[in-house]
Copies of this chain bind each other. A is one copy, B any other.
Amino acid sequence: MTEPPTVVLATRNTKKVPEVRAVLAEAGAGDVEVIGLDAYPDAPEVAETEPTFAGNALLKAHAVARYTGLPAIADDSGLRVDALNGMPGVLSARWSGHFGDESPDKDDANLQLVLDQLADTPAERRGAEFVCVAAAALPDGREHVVEGILRGRLITERRGENGFGYDPIFVPEGEERTTAQLTAEEKNAISHRGAAFRDLAAGLRVLL
């Protein structure tokens, strides 16, 4: 019997591990064992300093693969607002400035700033998209990168309690609810992150 391949998800967010495990299983990579970075408490923090989602995802995946000696996967994601020329983009998590990563109010401050910046922007110009770039990297330096996109529009007031970040103001195309009003399963099925990790599963099959 062959040992099942293990990959490290380059995140300390423990909620993400079962989510990614479920997506990979569904995409036919269910034999892949996914562990979180919490198994490596001394792993160095990787700052997302690149100007692109792909740059940041690769930076994290390579750093974790080198540190752990295991295949690593990482993602970087954000919101691109048409009326803001595609920003906040890679600055989505710190759009309103630096509150330190631990502040529970940071997400809400970022969301509120986007609402304020678009206060005068009419419905027909409130298009936006969630983007997720997922990357896999091996300790030997090989890599694979994929992108998932969810198009939608921004409403003017928060709706829903699920999800995080900009979810309460984002309504996907073909939906009337925000992504914060979808269940985790409904969101995974259509989301940028779900799409990216489903694509990544196919890439993992080749790499591992």
Contacts and interface: CB of A to CB of B under 8 A. Distances in A.
A56 to B, nearest CB: 11
Nearest to A120: B49
Interface string A3-31: 00000000000000000000000000000
26 contacts: A47-B120, A49-B120, A51-B83, A51-B125, A84-B85, A84-B87, A84-B91, A85-B85, A85-B86, A85-B87, A85-B89, A87-B87, A91-B117, A94-B116, A94-B117, A95-B117, A96-B113, A96-B116, A97-B112, A97-B113, A97-B116, A97-B117, A97-B119, A98-B116, A98-B119, A113-B113
Nearest to A94: B117
Contacts of A120: 47, 49
Interface SS of chain A: helix, strand, loop or mixed?
Answer: loop
Interface in A156-172: none
Contacts of A49: 120
Interface string A99-121: 00000000000001100110110
Contacts of A83: 51
Nearest to A112: B97
